[in-house]
Amino acid sequence: MLVVHPIILKCLMVCLILLIAVIFDQYFLRWLKNALIGAVCIYICDLFLPITWQVGISLFTVLFTALLGIPGIVILYLFSICIK
């Protein structure tokens, strides 16, 4: 019986999901790029802003910036400033 190491199996599953997503969804790479750029921008902004205005990187903020891009980052910070 062939036994595959769990880490290798997880890597293969992720690669398969990414391959299917790239083939069937032309916007997936754009969303991934927006998510990465958004996470980096939030990280850099959080370094320089006061602690009361910081947003932090979470699943919600990354998905929000992936969908909206730079305007999403601005909305998150405006919301953070208005709430606190």
- For position 2, what pLDDT does the model report? 66
pTM here is 0.65
User: At what angle are helices 28-48 and 70-83 packed, to 10 degrees?
Assistant: 40
- pLDDT tens digits for 2-41? 676 788 888 888 888 888 777 767 777 788 888 999 999 9
The whole-number average pLDDT for the span 73-83 is: 90
Q: What DSSP designation does 51 have?
A: G
Q: How many residues comprise the chain? A: 84
Q: What is the mean pLDDT of the chain?
A: 85
Q: What DSSP designation does 32 have?
A: H
CA gap 17, 33 in Å, rounded: 17
Is residue 77 over pLDDT 70? yes
Report CA dihedral (44, 47, 53, 56) to the nearest 10 degrees: 60
Q: Locate 25 and state its tokens.
A: 């969804």
